[in-house]
Amino acid sequence: MNSTVLYQFIPLILMFVIFYFLLIRPQKKKEKEIQDMRANLRVGDKIMTIGGIIGKVVLIKEDYVIIESSSDHSKLDIMKWGISGTFKDKTELKEEN
The distance from CA 93 to its chain's CA centroid, rounded to whole angstroms, is: 15
* DSSP-derived pairing of the beta strands 75-79 and 64-68: antiparallel
pTM to 2 decimal places? 0.70
What would the CATH number be for the domain defined by 42-97?
2.30.30.60
For the stretch 2-54, pLDDT in tens is 678 888 889 999 999 999 999 999 999 999 999 999 999 999 999 999 999 99
Distance CA 8, CA 45 (A): 54
Ordered by start, the domain boundaries in the chain are: 1-40, 42-97
